[in-house]
Structure 1
Amino acid sequence: MRPEILFPLFARVSSLPGIGPRLEKLVERLAGPHVADLLWHLPSGLIDRRFRPPIAEVKDGEIATLTVTVGLHVPPPARNKRVPYRVWVSDETGEMPLIFFHARTDYLQRMLPEGEKRLISGRIDFYQGSPQMTHPDHIVEPEKEAELPLIEATYPLTQGLPQKQLQKAIHAGLERAPDLPEWNDPAWQQKNAWPGWLAALKAAHVPERPADLEPDSPARARLAYDELLSNQLALALVRRRMRARAGRPIKGDGRLRRQVEKALPFALTGAQSQALAEIDADMASDRRMLRLLQGDVGSGKTVVGLMAMLSAVEAGAQAALMAPTEILARQHAAGLAPLCEAAGVTLALLTGREKGKAREETLSRLASGEIDILVGTHALFQEDVAFKDLAMAVVDEQHRFGVHQRLQLQGKGGAGTNVLVMTATPIPRTLTLTAYGDMDVSRLTEKPPGRQPIDTRLVSADRLHEVVEAVRRAMATGARVYWVCPLVEESDALDVAAAEERFGALSHTFGEKVGLVHGRMKAAEKDSVMARFQSGEISLLVATTVIEVGVDVPEATVMVIEHAERFGLAQLHQLRGRVGRGAGKSTCLLLYHGPVGETAKARLKIMRETEDGFVIAEEDLRLRGAGELLGTRQSGMPEFRLADLSAHSELLAAAYDDARLIVETDPELEGPRSAALRTLLYLFERDEAIKYLRSG
């Protein structure tokens, strides 16, 4: 149960003054449904109202606070609503009008009575050489001068939500915020000279100078650390729970692995052997394995995953490989089948498409233990999927799944399933901690022998006809070509339209050798087009980013990415990784439309300079910040509101260490800091972790 002290923070935003049903929807879209969400929405700018010039000395475009006497009101003509309402104001140095559009006469006469003094504050605009102020931000009686905020924080907005209403709601939220018990270690807090939680929250919303808006200001750094600590503590509790559930030692005798190694066209790399040694040690221990295998594009993760599964099969148990899409699951099954056959291992495939008798037969053979390795999609989670003895689960492209699904899959194995998670998206170390702090990590940093570097070139879209000719020459030699269409805003439908348009144009040039795949096609249609591309019936594949992950066609040696400036670095790297998978020399053409912004320019430059996915991932984090890096909303990655992982990476490392220490010394959170730490977990909605405590 959420502690009562937090109830005011989890009230709906509609409980705040000025937030009616219309604005509630906008606030919810901008920040979230609760008062706490609004308090995590920190200011991004400052307005300084301390400049107090006379009218004769005001300057165009600046914010000024003036003491004036109200003069003549000039309402617009009755029939012309487009003319503004003017109120003339003056001081001993001159006069100027205040301009109001769509104004209510009674309101203005009440706020600005003729002949009286008022303090007005707002932006000065010069019109035909003379100053005016349109819709002053503040109009205050001189005796209420204290009500005028001299330094005013401004917030990021969404269309239709006025700054004033948002400021008012946030200030009301701050007044309701309770003073919470201190969860930070006193020595750590003192070392950083951080205020208490409530003082930090208030200071972050009432900045006094531009430096207070920076991520390293004491108030913001303190709040960021709180959020990071809640994330790391929750992961540490999940990790402890997973480790505490008894595993069982799994040790293969190597006979199946030796058969597969013989059948492989290449020897394992040093990095693959090192990762396997770490996996073997985990599997042989009496604790459940939970390991992340990070490999750059084409570094041979799947072979490592297969070897790990074979250990389980050698020990008389079963293994499963789960992929995020049907294309990938079928591709894994097709790629692993000959290797399994060479070792006499029974492999089967289960996706949502298998129905009726075929599905029943697979499930029956799985339950009886006749199937050694099952490859599938989310369908493996379904209740009717029962293994005789699942000892090893390999999850591919983990960033598509969250922590809950990891727990769910482990539950399939009864006596202690080992889990190996694989990702071809190199993840910066800081993000590895936030998303996978519950796991041990192995990295594959070498490519298998024989892989050639990919020649990456930047080409202006003005030279499109040259690119089409280059594609024609490549196709004439028997090469296969990917042509990836641009991301259009955040719209799947527009992406598809762009792909269909390009498909039409290229079909006109190359006829039936062109195929099309996009996210709105049925799985069977996509698979059919991919099969024709793999067989060579189609040599040019026009696609949206559905081909980003895992599609493997060794004969494909040319990749064209249209509007490359619109893609993130990680995505460009993943797409480029679809070529260069065979022995042939490969080329990646990044087609850009100018003018290109600074960040996009930096991205394209990095792509040209390096193929190292880990270097690219660190650069991507630096350029874009963590929020966008893996598309957090879709990916099971945590989304941070107060912490900026590129700016707060040192705080993250400290939170990781602190969380580990807390869980080692006080695993059930019963010690002196425990009540405060539980409050912290609830504050950042990490309630799930509290269920893992004996007394939670």
Structure 2
Amino acid sequence: MSGRPEVLFPLFAAADTLKGVGPKIAQNLQQIGLETPRDLLFLLPYSVLDRRRRSTIRGLELPGIATVEVTIGSHRPARNKGGAYRINVTDQEEEFQLVFFHGRSRYLEAQCPEGSRRLVSGKLELFDGMAQMVHPDHMLPLAEAEDIPEFEPVYPLTHGVTQKTMTKAVQSALTRLPDLSEWIDPALCSREGWPSWREALQQAHVPQGQEDLDPEASPRARLAYDELFAHQVTLALARQQERQRKGRASLATGHLQSRVLSALPYRPTGAQARAIEEISADMARDIRMNRLLQGDVGAGKTLVAFMALLVAVEAGGQGVMMAPTGILAQQHLEGLKPLAEDAGVVLEVLTGRDKGTERRKKLDALARGDIQILVGTHAVFQQDVAFKDLRLAVVDEQHRFGVRQRMELAEKGQGADVLVMTATPIPRSLALAQYGDMEVSVLDEKPPGRKPVKTAVVATERMQEVVEHLRGAIEEGRQCYWVCPLVGESEVMDLTAAEERFNHLRAALGEGQVGLVHGQMPPAEKDAAMEAFVSGKTKVLVATTVIEVGVNVPNASIMVIERAEIFGLAQLHQLRGRVGRGSAQSTCLLLYQPPLSEGGRRRLEVLRETEDGFRISETDLQMRGAGDVIGTAQSGLPKFRIADLEKQAPLMALAQSDARALLAKDPDLTSERGQAVRVLLWLMKQDQAIRLISVG
């Protein structure tokens, strides 16, 4: 399979080979990513205009689209330059006007001679008691009336391309549809009642009403499935290739794990125990582990990850835990230190800050195997970092990692197992889109002793009461986070806002009680301010959102979030998770500036009602769409043209099981259906998958 199958050539020709598309228009189409007939075919109409004929406009709800046969009456040319040219017309029962701005009399008189019959179609509006159709979309002699479809598809446009041109180009692309062999499991096709690929495209481009635009409509569902299926085949191929690479069997003896478990003041939750078991079983096999550990705020991922790292050490090897930033690596280190002491293993940290002899020493110890568990940033990827026997890499993902980076990481340790952690509960459909090549363990219980956080929604004008409430809490010895919003486009403005709040609280609560951290501070000052808060020297920490990840201060039991309405749901949920870590009852106050938008109100309500991160992320997905939830800018999330991850989540799960089942039966895609799937991969531009097959 060296190159694109010939049957697809017509779909991958240049756009200017289509009817009505010249070089100029081809260039404009390119602006919105439409370069070939294939791209136009996957650009489905987003709306449909009902152009069914009526005998009269009487009884039509205005404004509305009307398509009606009329007799042309008198012409009234514009009185002044730029005025309106009007033509009176009558249908079977009513009289109305066609209106043209900058209308040229000569042209209009030739088009619509008085007394002639025409079919007109366009938007009808009431103006000064008279029904008017301004610039009709269609105005044809009856002989050409057939040219107006009963339902006209409406396409997304770009500068310099009209609906007419777009429709013509798409119609021209439809004439090139090849007959392709079916790649969907025939049983699934008949169960869902889906048309063939070719029929699905033909039907999707001639919607017969609003309901045909629904993602559930059979042609659209089929085309969405093709897209999701191609994506899942790619992930399944990557997974298959991973699994062919020999892993290392790392057998847990339990002698280190039992030390940690007996030192814990509580028993692990059922979910934690299950995850530890799944991971240990994976590590014991000689196939490389590729697993995702997904847990809500405070669900105890650290313990699970540490237990996995101990399996590597018990088996005589080393483990590494990677974080996206130095601050996070530092926090993982603090979280793991007490556990490492209980287990009696050597734990070190390596970040970009390590220089010179200090760094050299660590690298030597690592190569000798004296460091058993390393915590670090991407610095552990560098050439000169060598492990004696790396068995497990734990990646704290924070969404900075795509499939490709996961593959690179695995190269570092010959056959090392990979465990990816994510603290953002992701709805199942998105998890499958982004991590479809992985097995998944979910932590969906809170460890014992975690009290629910009370959440209240308060308008900014009650700021004074909030400050009074804080004063009381501080007197009882409690601590508080006060998060300032990122207000401006510029960090300078955010800084001013944070400094103002800091000064205001300092004046109200006393000089030494309040600390400040923000993104512009030198690292050493930031660390000092955090340190003062962690040790309890300062009671209130005013911060921009730098604290949302990782910080652990059990004594902090109040979280105030200013202008909560401008934060995303997932972010608010993460921030709230910073309190409720100790034994005291914790509170989260969401301060908002009225009036709230509909979306803002719904977001704050969801937070008040639930602490379930998965429910919150489902709501976030419905409200903002997939790209925002994961932060598309740096996510590994693919861009789907037709499939709608919010509304078609069940299709994604179906596509995953279908793709895996197919590859289990036909790993090289050589069967008849396998060959059809190869064509699909080319059609969907799944380059990564194509590389994997051609190599295999």
State if a TM-score over 0.5 links the two structures: yes
Partner of residue 506, structure 2: 510
**C-alpha spacing 1:356/1:333, structure 2 compared with 1 (3 Å):** same
2:310 is matched with 310
List aligned pairs for 1:674-685, cutoff 5 A. Answer: 674-685=674-685
Cα drift, residue 28 of structure 1: 5.7
Secondary structure class of the residue paired with 2:643 = coil
Residue pairs, 1:78-477, within 5 angstroms: 78=81, 83-91=82-90, 96-101=96-101, 117-156=117-156, 163-261=163-261, 263-397=263-397, 399-414=399-414, 416-477=415-476
8 Å CA contact 2:484–2:497 kept in 1: the answer is no
Change (3 A) 1:106 1:538: farther
What secondary structure sits across from 1:448 in the alignment? coil
- d(CA) in 2 for partners of 1:545 and 1:159? 39
CA shift for structure 1 position 241: 1.3
**Does the 8 Å contact 1:481/1:559 carry over to 2?**
yes
1:74 aligns with 2:73: no
**Equivalent residue, structure 1, for 2:4:** 2
- CA shift, 1:110, in A, is 6.8
Q: Deviations over 1:364-402 (max 9, x none)?
A: 433333332222223333334332221100011353311
Deviation at 1:244, TM superposition (A): 1.4
Moved more, 599-608 or 133-142: 599-608
State the alpha-carbon separation in 2 of the partners of residues 111 and 387 from structure 1.
82
**Aligned partners of 2:104, 2:394: CA distance in 1, in Å?**
67
CA displacement 1:382-427 (0-9 Å, x = unmatched): 334332221100011353311111111111111x101111112122
**Post-superposition offset of 1:577:** 0.9
1:586 Cα deviation (Å)?
A: 1.2
Q: Tell me if structure 2 keeps the 8 A contact 1:668–1:694.
A: no
Structure 2, unpaired ranges of 5+: none
Aligned residue type for 2:659: A
Does the 8 A contact of 1:70 with 1:112 survive in 2?
no
Q: Which amino acid aligns with 1:647?
A: K
TM-score (structure 1 length as normaliser): 0.88
Q: Which residue of 2 aligns with 1:663?
A: 663
| Residue in structure 2 matched with residue 40 of structure 1 by the alignment | 42
* CA shift for structure 1 position 320: 0.9
Map Cα deviations across residues 629-649 of structure 1 (whole Å, 9 max, x no partner): 323442213333322334333
Q: CA deviation at 1:151?
A: 0.8
Provide the residue aligned with 1:63 in structure 2. 65
- The whole-number CA distance in structure 1 between the counterparts of 2:233 and 2:544 is 39
Deviations 1:568-612 (A, max 9, x none): 433332221121122222111223345545554444333222222
Does residue 1:501 correspond to 2:501, yes or no? Answer: no
Give the whole-Å Cα distance in 2 for the aligned partners of 1:383 and 1:147: 67
Partner of 2:580, secondary structure, is coil
In the alignment, is the contact (CA less than 8 A) between 1:296 and 1:424 conserved in 2?
Answer: yes
- The answer as to whether partners of 1:43 and 1:155 remain within 8 angstroms in 2 is yes
Alignment check: 8 A CA contact 2:57 2:66 kept: no
Q: Secondary structure of 1:247's match?
A: coil
Structure 1 residues 463-612: aligned runs within 5 Å: 463-486=462-485, 493=489, 497-498=493-494, 500-510=496-506, 513-518=514-519, 527=527, 529-536=529-536, 538-596=538-596, 599-612=599-612
1:537/1:7 Cα in 2 relative to 1: closer, same or farther (>3 Å)? farther
CA distance in 1, matches of 2:576, 2:374: 30
C-alpha separation in 2, matches of 1:496 and 1:640: 37
Q: 1:326 to 1:105 in 2, by over 3 A?
A: farther
SS at match of 2:693: coil
Compared CA separation, residues 161 and 435, structure 1 to 2 (3 A): same
Cα shift at 1:302: 1.0
- 2:85·2:103 contact (CA, 8 Å) conserved in 1? no
Cα 1:651–1:350 shift into 2, 3 Å: same
Q: CA deviation at 1:458?
A: 1.9
SS state at 2:375 partner:
strand
| CA distance in structure 1 between the aligned counterparts of 2:524 and 2:76, rounded to whole angstroms | 72
Change (3 A) 1:457 1:52: same
Q: Which amino acid aligns with 2:63?
A: G
- Quick one: distance in 1 between partners of 2:113 and 2:541? 72
Cα RMSD of the aligned pairs, angstroms, is 3.4
Letter in 2 for 1:49: R
Q: Give the conservation status (yes or no) of the 8 Å contact 1:99–1:132.
A: yes
Q: Retained in 2: the 8 A contact 1:327–1:527?
A: no
Q: How has the CA–CA distance of structure 1 residues 215 and 486 changed in structure 2, closer, same or farther, with 3 Å as cutoff? A: farther
Q: Does 1:635 align with 2:635?
A: yes
- Report the CA distance shift for 1:386/1:475 in structure 2 as closer, same or farther (over 3 A): same
Report SS of the residue matched to 1:400.
coil
Structure 2 Cα separation of the partners of residues 370 and 326 of structure 1: 23
Between 374-383 and 181-190, the greater mean CA deviation after superposition: 374-383
Which secondary structure does the structure 2 equivalent of 1:67 belong to? strand
State the one-letter code of the partner of 2:257: R
What secondary structure, in the 3-state scheme, does the structure 1 residue paired with 2:437 have?
A: coil
- What's the CA shift string for 1:83-140, capped at 9, x where partnerless? 4442324236665443344667787677556775443211112121112222222233
Greater mean alpha carbon deviation, residues 442-451 or residues 590-599: 590-599
Q: Sort the Cα spacing of 1:360 and 1:161 in 2 relative to 1 into closer, same or farther, 3 A.
A: farther
TM-score (norm 2): 0.88
Q: CA offsets per residue over residues 172-224 of structure 1, 9 Å max, x none?
A: 44344444321112232122221111211221122102221112211011112
The separation in 2 between residues aligned to 1:115 and 1:413, in whole angstroms, is: 85
Q: Aligned to 2:458, what secondary structure does the other structure show?
A: strand
Say if 1:128 and 1:396 are closer, same or farther in 2 by CA, change over 3 A. same
Distance in 1 between residues matched to 2:347 and 2:130, nearest whole Å: 82
Following the alignment from structure 1 to structure 2, what is the Cα–Cα distance between the partners of residues 283 and 476? Answer: 50
Task: Name the stretch that deviates more: 464-473 or 216-225.
Answer: 464-473
Retained in 2: the 8 A contact 1:321–1:394?
yes
Superposition deviation, residue 57 in structure 1: 6.5
Between the aligned partners of 1:447 and 1:367, the Cα distance in structure 2 is 38
- CA 1:548/1:89 → structure 2, altered by over 3 Å: closer, same or farther? farther
Distance 1:148 1:397 in 2: 54
User: Structure 1 residues 589 and 29, CA, compared in 2 at 3 Å: closer, same or farther?
Assistant: farther
Amino acid of the structure 1 residue aligned with 2:128:
Q
Is the Cα–Cα contact under 8 Å of residues 552 and 581 in structure 2 kept in the other structure? Answer: yes
Partner SS state of residue 139, structure 1: strand
Q: Compared with structure 1, are the counterparts of its residues 440 and 496 closer, same or farther at alpha carbon in structure 2 (3 Å cutoff)?
A: farther
Code of the residue aligned with 2:463 in structure 1: it is L
Deviation by residue 1:307-361 (Cα, 9 ceiling, x = unmatched): 2112212322221111122221121123223433454433332333434444444
